[in-house]
Amino acid sequence: MASTTTSILNSVFLFMIIFLGSTLADFNNEFDITWGDGRGKVINRDLLTLSLDKASGSGFESRNEYLFGKIDMQLKLVPGNSAGTVTAYYLSSKGSNWDEIDFEFLGNLSGDPYILHTNVFSQGKGNREQQFYLWFDPTADFHTYSILWNPQRIIFSVDGTPIREFKNAESIGVPFPKDRPMRIHSSLWNADDWATRGGLVKTDWSQAPFTASYRNFKADACVVASGKSSCSGSAASSSGNQAWLSEELDITKQERLRWVQKNYMIYNYCSDSKRFSQGFPPECQMA
């Protein structure tokens, strides 16, 4: 009897391994390396790396376009002296009136913290920057960076902790990204004219190549193909749980958001009175 039970448990365990393994994203199916002349690589289907040297950086984009979703990616950033480099991970649509939701990681000298730069563009207009230090070393291990994008709000999170919420403020005349499908993009590039201390610290090319790594991509999202969304009609009923379409911050996550913004936020456009001497943007009333 004991051996039978052990056999059953082993079979269940093996099934779980196979099942869980099958849910990991295959980067070859999900993304295309779009530039970099071989500096972007997919390794064993579940790891992607981007590299930067003096000749070029590199980048990739998703094959799918999304209109709303909950998107996770684990990143391990460029270690050591990363000054002058920028690792960008963002959603973006096409055209002159594009929408965009940005994570940008600004490198720094060894021992100095990365700056996490966030922005939201709607109808081609951005200038909604918030910047943060992180409460861990983002180069020592992989960490999960998430974007929740639904018709009511955009929430940026790190390892499940929200760091920023951008609410839909169309009621007071602020455009919100809700009509244009976006692809996921990421790039590693040289921006030493501005990225580190306003361009005072330049990239040390003796440290090249610089490499950022990606794994465990997950998208619970509305995929748009040929003008149709997977979240509409019969496709929606077969695509599973879409609770994220109306998700908002509960009390615990609101407290975590306040903790991050109190202790780790280093720039907020809604507090920059010199920049907005004629009055803050209207959405700042909702912050």
pLDDT digits (tens, 9 = 90+) for 29-78: 999 999 999 999 999 999 999 999 999 999 999 999 999 999 999 999 99
With a cut of 90, say whether residue 196 has pLDDT above it.
no
CA 185, CA 71: separation in Å to the nearest integer?
12
Q: Which of 88, 72, 78 is nearest to 24 (CA)?
A: 72
- Look at residue 13 in the predicted model and tell me its pLDDT: 41
Whether 100 sits among the annotated catalytic residues: the reply is: yes
CA 76, CA 134: separation in Å to the nearest integer?
13
- Look at residue 24 in the predicted model and tell me its pLDDT: 62
Kindly list the distances between the CA atom of residue 189 and the CA atoms of 106, 200, 206, 283, in Å, as whole numbers in the listed order.
10, 17, 16, 31
CA 72, CA 78: separation in Å to the nearest integer?
19
- Look at residue 23 in the predicted model and tell me its pLDDT: 47
The residues, any chain, with a CB within 8 Å of residue 243's CB and separated by 6 or more, are: none
Q: Which of 145, 143, 156, 148 is nearest to 70 (CA)?
A: 148
CB-based contact 91:66 (threshold 8 Å):
yes
With a cut of 70, say whether residue 145 has pLDDT above it.
yes
Average pLDDT over residues 255-262: 98
Q: Please state the pTM of the whole predicted model.
A: 0.89
- Look at residue 110 in the predicted model and tell me its pLDDT: 84
Q: Which of 30, 61, 65, 100 is catalytic?
A: 100
Q: Which of 270, 82, 45 is nearest to 188 (CA)?
A: 82
Q: Look at 239 and 169; give whichever has higher pLDDT.
A: 169
